[in-house]
């Protein structure tokens, strides 16, 4: 039986990759302005993958990550996640506020609100670009922060997709908030901006872009 | 002894001396069923409460509580366990993000759906570590039936 996600055509995956480039490019620019230093977008990957591969993709189900989660509402619905390694979240706060806000190994309330605001700015600028590109009316929920096992967080983001499929299309852009240091070496900290549209939103995206009749799809 | 891994929306069975585990449960629920005489334990990683939510006619049974738990019972019986001796332990069903309505959050609905199907099947729940707002990794040991629950910030518990 045809699975709308697993069996998506290469052409449509390319269209989604373009969305990722445009959205994440805008988000990286916004983050760069916020941090006052370069932020590079390294690569956009759009691959249909089984749920268990999604958690492997972010370093394994038990990998500790800092995630800012926003729910997208409007002409399309879905989830947006800004995922960093747990240590990278603290490093980002330290850079912005001169304080990593960590006491007892947990993020302080201050650090949490800084990260939520970063997530808010990233998802907002990503969706503004997507909205300009497609003409969609899009809103996001207040962002939520969670520091926990990647599997526990990602599986929540996959819930809507799970109603229709055993596969997810993770529209992923890897960004480097550290940019290049003074020697031109790329710093290790990196984050991912994941767009996870609800399954029924894919058709609306392709329709808005006039590519819904392409090939067998 | 081997550690058998169960992925998201999947299930499997382990016989002594092996153990069985699933990593990073959030709002998902891990249900284990144990036959202490045969020393066989099964585990299912339930993602959603009911097959009524399925928007596709073909789905993995283990994904939903109401199809996944009965399927696990069948797998255990196939492996030599007695249906009458099975006892259940469960963990997970957390509320990972604060915006979820606590009363209707998916984690809570998963917990309730697992309890409901176990009640229908006449399988007693003898221990649970459910709810809260943190992820869990669980491992069940086929020789003792002990369910070990590991989290990021709390001590390991054995139920």
Q: Which residue of B has its CA nearest to A141?
A: B99
In a domain, A2, yes or no: no
Min Cα separation B82/chain A (Å): 31
Distance CA B29, CA B25 (A): 7
Give pLDDT tens digits for A16-67.
998 888 998 899 899 888 888 888 887 788 989 999 898 888 889 999 999 9
- As a whole number of Å, the CA-based R_g of chain A is 17
CA triplet A149, A150, A152: central angle to 5 degrees?
70
Output the pLDDT for position A109. Answer: 84
In sequence order, the 6+-apart residues with CB closer than 8 A to the CB of A70 are: A79, A80, A81, A119, A120, A123, A140, A141, A142, A143, A144
Distance CA B37, CA B15 (A): 11
Longest dimension (CA), chain B: 44
Is a pLDDT exceeding 50 seen at residue A186? Answer: no
Instruction: Give how many domains chain B has, as a whole number.
Output: 1
B23/A165 touch (CB, cutoff 8 Å), yes or no: no
| Cβ neighbours around A129 below 10 Å, total | 19
Is a pLDDT exceeding 70 seen at residue A129? Answer: yes
With beta carbons less than 8 A apart as the criterion, state whether A187 and A101 touch: no
Instruction: List residues of B whose CB lies inside 8 A of any A CB.
Output: 7-10, 23-28, 47-48, 53-60, 63, 94, 96-99, 106, 134-137, 152-153
Output the pLDDT for position A76. Answer: 93
CATH value at residue B46: 3.30.1330.200
Residues of A in contact with B24 (CB under 8 A): 55, 61-62, 149-152, 154-155
Full domain range(s) for residue A186: 10-208
Output the pLDDT for position A44. Answer: 80
B106/A165 touch (CB, cutoff 8 Å), yes or no: no
Min Cα separation B123/chain A (Å): 27
Min Cα separation A37/chain B (Å): 31
Catalytic member of B20, B28, B76, B81? B28
- pLDDT class for A102, splitting at 50, 70, 90? low
Instruction: Give how many domains chain A has, as a whole number.
Output: 1
Residues of A in contact with B57 (CB under 8 A): 1
| Cβ neighbours around A186 below 10 Å, total | 13
- How does DSSP classify residue A183? T
Give pLDDT tens digits for B101-142.
656 789 999 999 999 999 999 999 999 999 999 999 999 999
Read off the pTM. Answer: 0.89
Angle between helices A86-97 and A10-35 (to 10 degrees): 40
In a domain, A216, yes or no: no
In a domain, A124, yes or no: yes
Distance CA A103, CA A125 (A): 31
In a domain, A194, yes or no: yes
* Mean pLDDT to the nearest integer, A74-100: 82
pLDDT, greater one: B128 or A199? B128
Of residues A117, A160, A162, the one with CA closest to residue A140: A117
B23/A61 touch (CB, cutoff 8 Å), yes or no: yes
Output the pLDDT for position A188. Answer: 55
- Asked about B28 being catalytic, the answer comes back as yes
ipTM given for this complex: 0.90
Number of inter-chain CB pairs under 8 A, A vs B:
100
Residue in A56, A162, A165, A168 to test binding to B, most B beta-carbons within 10 Å? A162
Is a pLDDT exceeding 90 seen at residue A95? Answer: no
* B19-25 and B136-141 beta bridge pairing: antiparallel
With beta carbons less than 8 A apart as the criterion, state whether B27 and B110 touch: yes
CATH value at residue A106: 3.40.1550.10
Per-residue pLDDT of chain B (159 residues; tens, 9 = 90+): 899 999 999 999 999 999 999 999 999 999 999 999 999 999 999 999 999 998 878 889 999 999 999 999 999 999 999 999 999 999 999 999 877 665 678 999 999 999 999 999 999 999 999 999 999 999 999 999 999 999 998 899 999
In sequence order, the 6+-apart residues with CB closer than 8 A to the CB of A192 are: A58, A81, A82, A83, A84, A172, A173, A174, A175
Q: Which tokens hold the place of B28?
A: 């998902």
With beta carbons less than 8 A apart as the criterion, state whether A161 and A196 touch: yes
Output the pLDDT for position A101. Answer: 52
Full domain range(s) for residue B80: 3-158
Output the pLDDT for position B115. Answer: 98
Min Cα separation B120/chain A (Å): 24
Residues of B in contact with A106 (CB under 8 A): 153
Residue in A58, A83, A163, A196 to test binding to B, most B beta-carbons within 10 Å? A163
């Amino acid at each position: 039986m045809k699975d709308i996600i697993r069996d998506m055509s290469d052409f449509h995956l390319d269209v989604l990759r373009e969305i990722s480039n445009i959205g994440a490019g805008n988000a990286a620019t916004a983050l760069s302005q916020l941090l006052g230093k370069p932020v590079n977008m390294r690569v956009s990957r759009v691959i249909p993958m089984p749920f268990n591969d999604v958690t492997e993709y972010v370093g394994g189900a038990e990998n500790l990550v800092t995630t800012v989660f926003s729910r997208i509402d409007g002409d399309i619905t879905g989830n947006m996640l800004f995922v960093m390694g747990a240590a990278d979240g603290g490093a980002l706060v330290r850079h912005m506020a001169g304080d990593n806000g960590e006491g007892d190994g947990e993020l302080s309330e201050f650090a949490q609100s800084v990260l939520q605001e970063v997530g808010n700015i990233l998802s907002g600028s990503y969706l503004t670009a997507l909205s300009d590109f497609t003409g969609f009316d899009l809103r996001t929920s207040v962002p939520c922060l969670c520091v926990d096992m990647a599997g526990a967080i990602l599986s929540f983001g996959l819930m809507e997709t799970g109603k229709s499929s055993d596969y997810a299309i993770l529209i992923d852009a890897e960004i480097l908030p550290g940019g290049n240091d003074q020697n031109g070496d790329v710093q290790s900290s990196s984050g991912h901006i994941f767009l996870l549209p609800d399954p029924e939103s894919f058709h609306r995206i392709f329709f808005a872009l006039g590519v819904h009749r392409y090939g067998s799809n | 002894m081997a550690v058998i891994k169960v992925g998201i929306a999947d299930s499997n069975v382990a016989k002594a001396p092996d153990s069985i585990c699933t990593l990073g449960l959030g709002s998902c629920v891990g249900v284990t069923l144990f036959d202490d005489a045969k020393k066989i334990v099964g585990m299912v990683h339930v993602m959603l409460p009911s097959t009524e939510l399925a928007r596709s006619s073909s789905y993995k049974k283990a994904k939903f509580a109401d199809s996944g738990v009965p399927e696990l019972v069948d797998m255990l019986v196939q492996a030599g366990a007695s249906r009458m001796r099975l006892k259940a332990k469960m963990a997970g069903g957390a509320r990972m993000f604060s915006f979820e309505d606590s009363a209707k959050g998916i984690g809570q609905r998963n917990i309730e759906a697992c309890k409901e199907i176990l009640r229908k099947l006449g399988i007693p729940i003898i221990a649970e570590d459910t709810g809260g707002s943190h992820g869990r990794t669980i491992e069940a040991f086929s020789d003792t039936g002990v369910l070990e629950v590991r989290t990021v910030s709390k001590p390991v518990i054995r139920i």
